[in-house]
Structure 1
Amino acid sequence: MPVMNIGPVPQSHDGFYARNNPYQVNGPKGFTEFKLMEENEDLYARFDFPGVTKESLRILVEPLKKAVFVFGDAPKEFRHDSSHRKYGTVTGLVCDCCEISNIQCFVGDGVVRLILSKKKINLHVPFSFGGATMPNVPFLARIINGYNPEVAGGHPLGMFIHIKMLCCDLLFWTGPAFTGPVTLPHPSVLEGSTSAYESKHLPNGGLFLRIDMPGVPNDRFMMTVESDGGITVIGRAPPAMHDSSGREYRGKVAVVPLAYDNRRIKVIAKHGVIRLIIPPF
């Protein structure tokens, strides 16, 4: 008897609690989080890159020290994964009076956290990007993130906002309201699946599931089989560093027959991603 998958279901009449992840049930919403550090004027940034490790992360600073590019590779960990994933995003300054002076980077459980420091400079030349005049900002944003709203049906994520930071601004992504009936593709995925959920029926009647739960340590994932045969996955991401709070994920993802031996289910949890391999009955 084949195992039946259950796709993501909104948690309320308002839709999904967090459109960035259909299984998130509390905590800060969105693929990113930013905070200005009042004590030293540094910028704290959190980026969800599920599947990415410290070894696969690359950080580049453009020549004028105005922008920081963050790239990460999430390999195809299991043969049933549809593909590998590559991530890329950018943040930085949009002023002439300062430059990025220091970058601290922390990677764990599929989350990249940066602390950017700045310092004053005495430049009286127009701001340029990589030696050329800086192009239109929304256009630059789409190119950097590998995303073009005109190609992808007018997706609203290709927008920037500025946070005033004394003498300068910090540049970063913002998006639409993160509660609603439809989940959003990950805007920083350059290659591979942009979805937090993937299912695949196996030739033997089994089921493979991949569910992103960025921020959840390997020992904070849980899988339970309910009395009705429903399989529920739970992940708890504790707050780290300057996160506003922790996050929790929960959802019913499959149904097995009532007499099913749940010890046969293989659970693989690593780098903020949980994978289930559920053999047939």
Structure 2
Amino acid sequence: MAACIDLSRIPHIPGRLHATNHPYQRYGPKGFMEIKALPNDDLYVRVDLPGVPDDAIRHRVDAVRQKVVFFSGEEVLGDGDNADDVREYSGTAGLGCDCCEITGVDAKMKDGVLRMILTRVKVKDHDSNKCTHFLPPNAGKSGRYDVNSPVMVEVEEHPYVVKGRKDTLATNRTSDGCFRFSVDMPGVCSDDVFVIPNQNEIKFYGENKEVYEHDESCRIFLGAISNRQCCSFGIPLLSHGIAWDAEFGVLKVRVSPPPRNNHN
């Protein structure tokens, strides 16, 4: 399985993050949200909401001003998940000007990513041909930092999580001695994930091979969990049972200790 991964395509980033919103992302579009104007003057909005099922997103346009879209969704509690980690999301996206109004929303949720096409119409004259005032105003800054700055780079928390964990990685050990960890990989489905254990660590790799037409490229995620974190005491990592699955943009890995020998 490991031979199928071309790691030469992944840029080496010594001591730095590719994107401050995700410590394991190594390539591709940055930020929890992206908003941009399309050639036909519609708006394209991408929002990462890992864990939310494809049919569980809600959205509506502000009926009064018709400037923003409200969106929300909840993660599903899975087997072995910590209930305190299960996330609820809520946020807004849209226009930051007074010259346009939203007239329609085409929304699609897939693999933990909400993508919306917002159609708009100009209701007032504006100096420029295309209005580029969007909400939230910092949507284009998430995930980015000054590579020349000496200041230590910190990983951002998810701004649209209103309940549950805000970190990319969640770990817990269950009462039966199993170790579980979950990693957000928005846009990645189960067919695009590799989990590669060795005696020292469990490596994980994900790449969304199906690139949406308005995304600039795929996204690649790469990371590892040390055997010190996930092994039962005194038992080699490769003696454990390791199972995984990816759903709704979240990779979940379960590390089970081998059964004890019963000499009774």
Which interval holds the TM-score relative to the shorter structure? Answer: 0.7 to 0.9
Q: RCO greater where, 1 or 2, for CA within 8 Å and sep 6 or more?
A: 1
Can you list the C-alpha shifts for 1:20-74, whole angstroms capped at 9, x where unaligned?
Answer: 1111111122111222112x10110110000112321110211221111111111
Query: Could you tell me which residue of structure 1 aligns to residue 5 of structure 2?
Result: none
Q: CA RMSD in A?
A: 2.3
- How far apart are 1:176 and its partner, in Å? 5.6
SS of 2:238 mapped into structure 1 = coil
Q: For residues 256 and 85 of structure 2, what CA distance do their matches in structure 1 show?
A: 22
**Can you give the 5+ residue segments of structure 2 that lack an aligned partner in the other structure?**
1-11, 146-151, 259-264
Query: Could you tell me which residue of structure 1 aligns to residue 195 of structure 2?
Result: 223
Aligned mate of 1:193, from 165, 170, 181: 165
Q: For residues 234 and 203 of structure 1, what CA distance do their matches in structure 2 show?
A: 28
Aligned mate of 1:178, from 144, 165, 169: 144
Q: For residues 200 and 132 of structure 2, what CA distance do their matches in structure 1 show?
A: 56
**8 Å Cα contact 1:58-1:72 kept in structure 2:** yes
Alpha carbons of structure 1 residues 165 and 117: separation in structure 2 relative to 1, 3 Å: farther
Q: For residues 167 and 219 of structure 1, what CA distance do their matches in structure 2 show?
A: 39
**8 Å Cα contact 1:204-1:280 kept in structure 2:** no
SS of 1:45 mapped into structure 2 = strand
- How far apart are 1:76 and its partner, in Å? 1.5
Identity of aligned residues (%): 30
**8 Å Cα contact 1:34-1:43 kept in structure 2:** yes
**8 Å Cα contact 2:184-2:250 kept in structure 1:** yes
Query: Could you tell me which residue of structure 2 aligns to residue 54 of structure 1?
Result: 54
Counting matched residue pairs gives: 228
SS of 1:53 mapped into structure 2 = coil
What's the TM-score, normalizing by structure 2? Answer: 0.78
Segments ≥4 residues shifted beyond 4 Å: 256-259
Alpha carbons of structure 1 residues 234 and 104: separation in structure 2 relative to 1, 3 Å: same
Aligned mate of 2:238, from 256, 260, 263: 260
What's the TM-score, normalizing by structure 1? Answer: 0.74
Query: Could you tell me which residue of structure 1 aligns to residue 185 of structure 2?
Result: 213
- How far apart are 1:190 and its partner, in Å? 0.9
Which stretch of the first structure deviates more once superposed, 269-278 or 181-190? 181-190
Q: For residues 188 and 121 of structure 1, what CA distance do their matches in structure 2 show?
A: 30
Q: For residues 14 and 260 of structure 1, what CA distance do their matches in structure 2 show?
A: 29
**8 Å Cα contact 2:32-2:142 kept in structure 1:** no
Q: For residues 234 and 94 of structure 1, what CA distance do their matches in structure 2 show?
A: 37
SS of 2:133 mapped into structure 1 = strand
SS of 2:55 mapped into structure 1 = helix
Mapping 1:116-265, distance limit 5 Å: 116-121=118-123, 166=130, 169-172=133-136, 173-174=138-139, 175=141, 178=144, 181-226=153-198, 228-238=199-209, 239-255=211-227, 256=231, 258=236, 260-261=238-239, 264-265=241-242
Which stretch of the first structure deviates more once superposed, 61-70 or 172-181? 172-181
- How far apart are 1:258 and its partner, in Å? 4.6
**8 Å Cα contact 2:53-2:76 kept in structure 1:** no
- How far apart are 1:102 and its partner, in Å? 1.1
**Can you give the 5+ residue segments of structure 1 that lack an aligned partner in the other structure?**
1-10, 124-163
Query: Could you tell me which residue of structure 1 aligns to residue 4 of structure 2?
Result: none
